[in-house]
């Protein structure tokens, strides 16, 4: 760690990013107050949240006086080692794992984002996507603000600094009054940890407490479990919690609005051992699979998932349908982030190196494949072809959510309708494209019953196009002067 200066931050060189074939969500966030090994516990918290972002990782700590940080491109285990964590001394910390949905995939955009203003240092970690970021940024730049990144998250810091003269609580209220969209935020100053959530509650944020009294904020309860913290409650939509030497206090930063909880957290993003929005993810995914079995009554020899995304819906489908469950595709758990690139003749190698069919189980069989979602369709087609090559007699695919026909602007990486196969083709056309004998998607009503409805609790925009918040033009990615952020 650099020693010069009261507050120090270190950025490491970028690492290569692996191919990723499913939908991607912006990030996972973690914060802790009141533990002498705050950095190490944040490391473990981020490790538990790694599924929410694999591009970059960062931790910022404070000992009550000085703020220090380290961030880099790569997985948590690649970015941090024992010497690095030993240099991050302090009793409060925030951490972040990221996949970029707004802003380039570069180390400058790795979080937590840190700034010093009027003698106070803030470190901000944000999960979500602001739908009015472009207009706010333009207004701030017109008034002299200088931005260091292409992230919408940096806008939050500028708004806090702009209203800092009104005190921190009022500055947070002022920032929340300006920004619109999905945001769960944890941030620290030299002596306190703060968390807040957007008024519709798009993204999860939970509060936990350790036996020694330390408070924890995290995207999911699985992060609490790993460090043996007790779940206390969810942070409510529009709520702000402030944790310092006096304990925890809470106030309403923005008036709560009608709920728009992201239903994709249940379908895909959250870990199955987490509780999200008051429900267990494992149980919900099984219920989705059971609902699918009631809708799609398929005659087959067995049911199987493509690991790991379809595993739990497949269990529910098998139990409800009475068909045997087979794990007939084997996942290689030792695939690293980089490997020697194959020749052109080894087509689809990046998919096949991860999953391989058990040919003797599949040969001559009628198979039902359970998937959690189909976004672009290219990976699914490759996998279906591998099943054909393994000798499957008949292949039906069932999907535990409705067709994804509309882009998401609230933190999921499908902001371009041209990338969505269901926006371009109907179900029969998708079936032919995927080279399937049968294809069935779960209906919206059945999905809502499985997750415990009512439907007005959830954001369903990617399925039905009903956006709970208006979206300004170009909200998916920043379009910078002279170049697009990739």
Would you say 20 and 54 are in contact if contact means Cβ atoms under 8 Å apart?
yes
**458 is written with which tokens?**
């959830």
Binding site annotation covers 178? no
Give the C-alpha separation, 455 to 444, whole Å: 9
- Strand arrangement, sheet containing 239-244: 113-117, 120-130, 181-188, 193-197, 239-244, 247-252
Tell me if 436 sits within 8 A of 397, measured CB to CB: yes
Neighbours of 414 (CB within 10 A): 21
Catalytic residue check, 27? yes
In terms of C-beta density within 10 A (0-12 exposed, 13-18 middle, 19 or more buried), how is residue 74 classed? buried
DSSP letter at 468 equals S
Q: Which residues contact 218 (CB under 8 A, 6 or more apart)?
A: 28, 29, 30, 31, 45, 49, 205, 206, 208, 224
DSSP structure class, residue 90:
B
Cα separations in angstroms, 307 against 312, 329, 354: 10, 7, 10
Q: Quick one: how many helices (H) and strands (E) in the chain?
A: 17, 26
How far, in Å, CA of 182 to CA of 261, rounded? Answer: 10
- H or E element, residue 11: strand 8-11
CA dihedral angle for residue 127, residue 248, residue 266, residue 417, rounded to 10 degrees: -20
The verdict on whether residue 462 carries a ligand-binding annotation is yes
277: phi then psi, degrees, rounded to nearest 5 = 50, 35
Asked whether 63 and 19 are in contact (CB, 8 A), the reply is: no
Nearest Cα residue to 116 out of 221, 189, 171, 207: 189
Please tell me which residue in 27, 114, 178, 401 is annotated as part of the active site: 27
Q: Is 385 helix (H, G, I), strand (E, B) or coil?
A: helix
**Residues classed as catalytic:** 27
Binding residues, by number, are 262, 408, 459, 462
- Binding residues for [4Fe-4S] cluster are 262, 408, 459, 462
């Amino acid at each position: 760690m650099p020693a010069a200066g009261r507050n120090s931050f270190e950025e490491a060189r970028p690492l290569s990013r692996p191919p990723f074939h499913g939908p991607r969500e912006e990030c996972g966030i973690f914060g802790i107050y009141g533990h002498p090994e705050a950095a190490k516990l944040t490391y473990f918290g981020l490790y538990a949240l790694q599924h929410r972002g694999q591009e970059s990782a960062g931790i910022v700590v404070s000992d009550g006086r000085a703020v220090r940080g380290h961030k880099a491109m790569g997985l948590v285990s690649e970015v941090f080692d024992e010497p690095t964590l030993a240099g991050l001394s302090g009793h409060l910390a925030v951490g972040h794992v990221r996949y970029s949905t707004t802003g380039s995939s570069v180390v400058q955009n790795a979080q937590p984002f840190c700034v010093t203003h009027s003698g106070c240092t803030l470190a901000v970690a944000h999960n979500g996507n602001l739908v009015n970021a472009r207009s706010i940024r333009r207004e701030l730049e017109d008034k002299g603000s200088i931005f260091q990144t292409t992230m919408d998250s940096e806008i939050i810091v500028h708004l806090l600094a702009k209203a800092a003269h009104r005190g921190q609580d009022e500055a947070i209220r002022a920032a929340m009054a300006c920004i619109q969209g999905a945001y769960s935020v944890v941030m620290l100053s030299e002596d306190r940890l703060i968390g807040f959530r957007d008024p519709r509650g798009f993204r999860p944020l939970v509060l936990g407490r350790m036996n020694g009294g330390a408070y924890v904020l995290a995207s999911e309860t699985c992060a609490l479990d790993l460090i043996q913290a007790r779940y206390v409650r969810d942070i409510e939509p529009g709520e702000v919690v402030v944790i310092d030497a006096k304990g925890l206090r809470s106030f309403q930063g923005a008036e709560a609005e009608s709920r728009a909880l992201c239903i994709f957290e249940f379908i895909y993003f959250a870990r199955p051992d987490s509780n999200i929005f008051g429900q267990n993810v494992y149980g919900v995914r099984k219920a989705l699979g059971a609902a699918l079995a009631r809708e799609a009554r398929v005659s087959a020899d067995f049911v199987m998932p493509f690991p790991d995304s379809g595993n739990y819906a497949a269990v529910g489908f098998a139990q409800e349908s009475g068909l045997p469950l087979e794990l007939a595709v084997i996942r290689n758990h030792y695939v690293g982030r980089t490997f020697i690139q194959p020749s052109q003749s080894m087509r689809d190698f990046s998919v096949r190196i991860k999953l391989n069919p058990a040919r003797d189980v599949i040969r001559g069989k009628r198979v039902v494949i359970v998937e959690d979602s189909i976004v672009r369709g290219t990976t699914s087609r490759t996998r279906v072809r591998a099943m054909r090559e393994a000798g499957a007699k008949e292949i039906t695919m069932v999907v535990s959510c409705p067709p994804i026909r509309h882009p998401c602007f609230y933190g999921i990486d499908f902001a371009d309708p041209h990338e969505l196969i269901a926006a371009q083709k109907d179900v029969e056309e998708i079936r032919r494209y995927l080279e399937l004998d049968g294809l069935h998607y779960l209906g919206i009503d059945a999905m809502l019953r499985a997750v415990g409805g009512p439907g007005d609790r959830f954001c369903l925009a990617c399925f039905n196009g009903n956006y709970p918040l208006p979206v300004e033009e170009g909200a998916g990615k920043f379009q910078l002067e002279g170049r697009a952020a990739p």
